[in-house]
Structure 1
């Protein structure tokens, strides 16, 4: 309630009331001065009271109406400015404001329109730079392959190799305990199965990175459909892909979005323990919208943002295209990724 009465509309009404109060006090002072010192026949205490009462009543009505009307006009125009700022924050730089009052608000609207045009030009420049970077990346493919192999070798050593070593040790211990302590052997075999399943998930995620980085002539729809079918056959996760067949975006955007999808699916296979994943890509007016959702165990965003290489890579790829990257996750509530690319 306090916030409502603190709005600009009620501020205008309060300022009008202050003006009415000062006017009534001034008129009353003048009339009382004339009544006391001059004492004309036409002026009496009753006429003063009647005049002030009528003036206050009519002034009250006019004040409320005028304050509400003028404050409402300003509020509506400020709301338009607020919506425009929100549009810019969401990457819609084509939105424009048109005021014809010729005051300061029109000047601010024109400056915001100029800002939107500059941001739109910057997005085009970023996408043009991304095209140039894509051409350069193809020429440097060999160096990238070597670096990726080194990273995969590191991951194999740090994750899969250690897990396989643990599987070996647990298996040997279970064999020794099989005759003397079958119950303990059963628990150790269960640990073996759990470790093997984790190693399998790690291997699937690593193999996902061995796929081609570029679509190699395929469309984004075709490439993602093949990728999802392959993962569907090799894992217990239920994938749902929604993407238009006739998606019309540049090759650079397709390559970046395909790589972002690979990275997000790799994170899901490794860490989420999810049973269902939804991927949606669709064209909206002025933007390409990409959404990934899983029902996994989620994570602490503050901690993960500082350590996750995959999240940083996805965010950087989105920003290279002038896009907006957003992620939401809570422990036990899954993870949601939203990306908006101007196009």
Structure 2
């Protein structure tokens, strides 16, 4: 705006100079008046020079100032409209007035051009968002598929090689240790072999826990109850541990069911690896506006305050449950066992829909 005012003033000065020169030439050659007389004489009590200045200002304003001001206002509106579109504000006041106001905001053609540009930008923006969502979904699915395939491959190799070798070694050592002559004649060696057998048995438990941890995360079209029940049945066939279950049939969003199933896997894996429990109980109960999952064992337990490092990696489970808006309550007593109770608030009517 300042530039326009400067140009207006300069133009006005230029017009005044031209008028004065034109009048001076006219007075010099065509009349008996002089330029000095023009300055001294009055016109209706106004000096001729003052009248000349006012006339030149009105002339400049009429032929340059007003068109310049109108052009400035139009340029400002164009600038505002372009800025709104660049910033993604497709429904700004100016654009809205272009759409609904009966009078053109800039000009009919320019308004129409801006509205067409707005529609194209909105279309492009929607296409970009859709493409990003598809890419993100594809990327997530691809990563999950790769992780799932790698889990299965590692679990299969561990089961077919290391697990089988550990089992064979355990059977051989068990057969050797059952010979009475070895214990009588070589008690020290017999004790060492018994220790090795115990180490192998512990390694087998670690391996089973690892294989349990590497199981597929998804339920594969099974309900949460069916998935947990199948998992416990498979576990009972591989470990010498009493397993009790009390599971309600509940229908939850797929993501929550998969997360809870993964939590059960991690909890059972921790029980196998750390608790030395003889019995484990798993409960899945439906309560008003919430789901309760509880895993209880009669193992070694731990002190939550003093032995946080022995808390079976429950921090990961707490983080996962917190992401679902749930709570984790842990009760553990040394040599008495551990209870992990998980509560997930949920609108079951919406979930069943």
- State how far apart, in whole Å, the 2-side matches of 1:303 and 1:188 are: 33
Would the alpha carbon gap of residues 233 and 289 (structure 1) be closer, same or farther in structure 2, given more than 3 Å must change? same
1:257 to 260, 265, 270: 260
Q: 1:215 maps to what in 2? A: 219
Would the alpha carbon gap of residues 201 and 214 (structure 1) be closer, same or farther in structure 2, given more than 3 Å must change? same
- State how far apart, in whole Å, the 2-side matches of 1:289 and 1:231 are: 22
Query: What TM-score, normalized by structure 1, do the two folds share?
Result: 0.50
Query: What TM-score, normalized by structure 2, do the two folds share?
Result: 0.49
Conserved? CA contact 1:134–1:252, under 8 Å: no
Q: 1:222-301, aligned counterparts within 5 Å?
A: 222-245=226-249, 247-301=250-304
Give structure 1 stretches of 5+ with no counterpart.
1-132
Would the alpha carbon gap of residues 134 and 306 (structure 1) be closer, same or farther in structure 2, given more than 3 Å must change? farther
Q: Name which one, 1 or 2, has greater alpha-carbon Rg.
A: 2
How far 1:262 moved relative to its partner?
0.0
How far 1:179 moved relative to its partner?
10
Q: CA RMSD of the aligned region, Å? A: 3.8
Q: Which moved more, 1:264-273 or 1:247-256?
A: 247-256
How far 1:144 moved relative to its partner?
3.4
SS of the aligned residue for 2:237 comes to helix
SS of the aligned residue for 1:329 comes to strand
Q: 1:144-223, aligned counterparts within 5 Å?
A: 144-145=147-148, 182-223=186-227
Report whether the alignment pairs 1:326 with 2:313.
no
How far 1:213 moved relative to its partner?
0.8
- State how far apart, in whole Å, the 2-side matches of 1:244 and 1:213 are: 20
Number of residue pairs matched by the alignment: 202
Displaced runs of 4 or more, over 6 A: 133-136, 149-152
- State how far apart, in whole Å, the 2-side matches of 1:218 and 1:180 are: 55
In the TM superposition, what whole-angstrom CA distance separates every residue of 1:275-297 from its partner, at most 9, and x where no partner exists?
Answer: 11111011111111111100001
Report whether the alignment pairs 1:339 with 2:347.
no
In the TM superposition, what whole-angstrom CA distance separates every residue of 1:163-184 from its partner, at most 9, and x where no partner exists?
Answer: 99x99xx99xx9xxx6996111
Conserved? CA contact 2:183–2:190, under 8 Å: no
In the TM superposition, what whole-angstrom CA distance separates every residue of 1:113-165 from its partner, at most 9, and x where no partner exists?
Answer: xxxxxxxxxxxxxxxxxxxx99975442145358869998xx99xx99xx99x
Q: Which structure has more RCO (C-alpha within 8 Å, separation ≥ 6)?
A: 1
Conserved? CA contact 1:326–1:339, under 8 Å: yes
